[in-house]
Amino acid sequence: MGVISKLLGIVLVVGGGIMFFLGSSDQNMNIIYYFLGLTIMAMGFSLLTAGGKKEEKPNPPTVTEIACDNPECTFKEIRDFQKGDFILKSLETKCPKCQGSMTIQGVYMVREEEPVPTV
Amino acid sequence: MQGIGADSEFSWIINLAFFAFIIIFSLYGAKFQIWQWLKQIEAGLIELKKMALESRETAIETFKRYGKGDEEVAKELDRWLDYFTIMPVDLDPAGILKRLDHLLDERRDRFQEFVTDLAPEASQAELQTLENTLEVTQVLSLVFRIVRHYYILGKKTNSQLIIMQVQMQLPDILLLAKAYFDSLDAFSEGKPIGDGIGPLVVTRFAREYGATPDSYITEISREVGYYPVEVEGRTVYALRATGPGGTVGKPGLAVKTLVEQNKGRIARIITVDAALKLEGEELGRVSEGTGAAIGDLGPEKHAMEQAATENNIGIEAIVIKENEAAAVGVMDKKILDAVPEVIERIRTAILKRTKPGDKIILAGIGNTIGIGL
Ligand SMILES: [Zn+2]
């Protein structure tokens, strides 16, 4: 169905376009060709644009942000989300810098920015 | 003066075609439009069906991890997909919230019973998360069935009105369905969602003042507890639902209970929640106002307002602006980054509008999936 209507759309647009631009050798017929060509082209375009699908973008990956509990230590790590991670979970692994305890401070996704409105 | 095309031998054919064309379009233009609309609805319906089926698959896969077989899960799930709740009669509005509350409790009981039966090996937190997964699957199935209903009905009756309405609402419906479909990834994996910002803020705030998971007092109302903390000489009851399983609990009832337990001593109620942003507003924007920020069907909000009014307690709200997709989808970095500002505003509210010795309720409203105590 999709392919057929697309093909029909192309045929109509091209056919209408030819009628519209070339017209007739007969001066009087030109006006009819003009309107007819325009209408046929419009039909073709509406067939072409109907149900047009955009390419689906996959969601960005979810990441887990881990930080050392020691306020003096600045260790921070961002890795892929693993099942069982949750925000404020205390981890068993020790901080590689100061051997202190570590906590998950964030589980999040960085989505594409929405376009900034111009008004 | 010559007529149009009078000097051409076949001009009458063109002439006829031209007029036939105009007549056909003025008579059948509307039919053509309906046909186009139906095609558009059909395309949307295919999309909705795909989402409904895929979410069902995900739900089956998720439930399968906890002890029951493929077939049994699928069969039970299908039986459950059109579970409904009948809203209480509003012709006699007296006590309607109480009746609604009762029905919602009953509904949650049935959901929990169902999930426990279907996933016998799941832990408490996992059961809550499974419940969320089930609800999303249900919503997607319902949306698909409703749109399909109007599509078929419109086709059957050839009603321009029905078809037009569906076609016009379809983009919005698709957007909502897509938001829920994407949220399934969060719910089935136990990732935090944007709506969880309320409980997260409350926990972060409580931790700054020395609270630990062990100081959390559980079950003051269904699946809700609080951290008692001292802030600048005031006692703050930092209230939130129990995580990291996915639940919103009954925070309104919890506030009411706390107010009753501390009769006359609560000076202020501060609610923190995610709120729908307007298009064009920034994601993660913090704003504040008056009232109870909670988006339930009514009973919870009513309990909060009632408790505040009867005891003459000031009630204020701090919200974090999100769109539908961010609220039910995996937590966005921008929302997470709003936490320090919200905490700052809570601190300001406490310092400015209460005095030392007062007791304050800080309620973080939202789904606690993926947000630890
Ligand atoms: Zn460290």
Query: What three-state secondary structure class fits B324?
Result: helix
Residue B163 lies in domain: 25-189
Q: What is the pLDDT of residues A71-116, one digit of tens each?
A: 888 888 888 988 888 898 888 888 888 888 888 888 998 888 777 7
Location of structure tokens 């996915």: B246
At B205, give phi and psi (nearest 5°). -65, -50
DSSP string of A21-51, one letter each residue: HH--SSTTTHHHHHHHHHHHHHHHHHHHHTT
Cβ–Cβ under 8 Å, residues B198 and B272: yes
Put simply, the chain A residues between 68 and 107 with a CB less than 8 A from any chain B CB are 81, 83-89, 104, 106-107
Query: What three-state secondary structure class fits A63?
Result: strand
CB-based contact B333 A108, cutoff 8 Å: yes
Residues of B in contact with A50 (CB under 8 A): 36, 39-40
Is position A54 within any domain?
no
Is position B373 within any domain?
no
CA distances from A98 to A25, A66, A71, A73, A84 (A): 89, 14, 11, 7, 25
Is position B250 within any domain?
yes
Overall number of domains in chain A: 2
Residue A81 lies in domain: 62-109
State whether B161 and B273 are in the same domain.
no
CATH number of the domain that B326 lies in?
Answer: 3.40.50.1470
Helices and strands, number each (H, E), in chain B: 11, 7
Is position B278 within any domain?
yes
State whether B75 and B208 are in the same domain.
no
A66 touching B, CB under 8 A? Answer: no
pTM recorded for the entire structure: 0.81
Cβ–Cβ under 8 Å, residues B245 and B295: no
CA of B191 relative to ligand 1 center, distance in Å? 25
Query: What three-state secondary structure class fits B267?
Result: strand
pLDDT in tens, chain B (373 residues): 444 444 566 678 878 888 898 898 888 888 888 888 999 999 999 999 999 999 999 889 888 888 888 888 888 888 888 888 888 888 888 888 888 889 988 988 898 899 888 888 888 878 888 888 898 999 999 999 999 999 999 999 988 899 999 999 999 999 999 989 988 888 888 899 999 999 999 999 999 898 888 888 888 778 899 999 998 889 999 999 987 888 888 898 899 999 988 888 888 999 999 999 898 888 899 999 998 888 888 888 888 998 999 988 989 999 999 988 888 889 999 999 999 999 999 999 999 988 898 899 999 999 998 898 8
Of B141, B157, B189, which residue constitutes the final position of a domain?
Answer: B189
A114 touching B, CB under 8 A? Answer: yes
B243/B224 Cα distance (integer angstroms): 9
State whether B151 and B273 are in the same domain.
no
DSSP B365: -
State whether A71 and A102 are in the same domain.
yes
Select from A32, A51, A81 the Cβ nearest to the Cβ of B4: A32
Of B174, B189, B204, which residue constitutes the final position of a domain?
Answer: B189
Radius of gyration of chain B (CA): 27
Is position B252 within any domain?
yes
Q: Where are the beta strands (DSSP E) in chain B?
A: 217-221, 224-231, 234-241, 266-276, 286-290, 314-322, 359-364
State whether B305 and B172 are in the same domain.
no
State whether B217 and B338 are in the same domain.
yes
At B217, give phi and psi (nearest 5°). -95, 115
Cβ–Cβ under 8 Å, residues B223 and B232: no
Q: How many beta-carbon pairs under 8 angstroms link A with B?
A: 103
Residues of A in contact with B372 (CB under 8 A): 86-89, 104
Classify the C-alpha dihedral B68-B73-B76-B81 as positive or negative: positive
Is position A55 within any domain?
no
Of B161, B189, B217, which residue constitutes the final position of a domain?
Answer: B189
State whether B101 and B164 are in the same domain.
yes
